[in-house]
């Protein structure tokens, strides 16, 4: 199972896997074609006060490849990054199915840690 664990990750800084596991909420339009996943990271490890201005994407990486979102909001307290909310949108059944395959792999990688 090490192969799956290493092959599935979420990154804000290219090449650095985020170790903080997000809370994820899914929303889907009534027609079932469009929707979004909202990721909330509390006290993320790879985003710091020094690099937060350069964070522009969240990368979702697995054995099928990489997909990403640019919709990121970073909440900062006086001396640390408090919370990061990132939203991934899909606009078709095909994009949703790809997202679900990633989500299953990501979830399985967490249970095998």
Statement: residue 72 has pLDDT above 80? yes
Q: Note the pLDDT of residue 4.
A: 38
| Torsion angle of C-alpha atoms 13, 14, 16, 18, degrees rounded to 10 | 60
Contact 89, 72 (CB under 8 A): no
Statement: residue 61 has pLDDT above 70? yes
Taking residue 62's Cβ as centre, other Cβ atoms within 10 Å add up to: 19
Contact 30, 50 (CB under 8 A): no
Q: Which of 52, 40, 42 is nearest to 13 (CA)?
A: 52
**Domains, the chain, with CATH or none:** 2-111 (2.40.30.220)
Q: Is pLDDT larger for residue 57 or for residue 3? A: 57
Q: Note the pLDDT of residue 113.
A: 56
Q: Note the pLDDT of residue 77.
A: 87
State the pTM of this model: 0.88
């Amino acid at each position: 199972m090490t192969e799956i664990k290493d092959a599935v990750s979420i990154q804000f800084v290219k090449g650095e896997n985020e170790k903080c596991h997000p809370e994820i909420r899914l929303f889907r339009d009534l027609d079932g074609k469009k929707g979004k996943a909202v990721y909330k990271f509390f006290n993320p490890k790879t985003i710091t006060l020094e690099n937060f201005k350069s964070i522009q994407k969240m990368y979702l990486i697995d054995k099928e490849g990489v997909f990403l979102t640019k919709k990121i909001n970073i909440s900062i307290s006086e001396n640390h990054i408090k919370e990061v909310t990132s939203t991934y949108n899909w606009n078709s059944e095909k994009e949703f199915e790809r997202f679900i395959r990633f989500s299953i792999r990501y979830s399985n990688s967490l249970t095998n840690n």
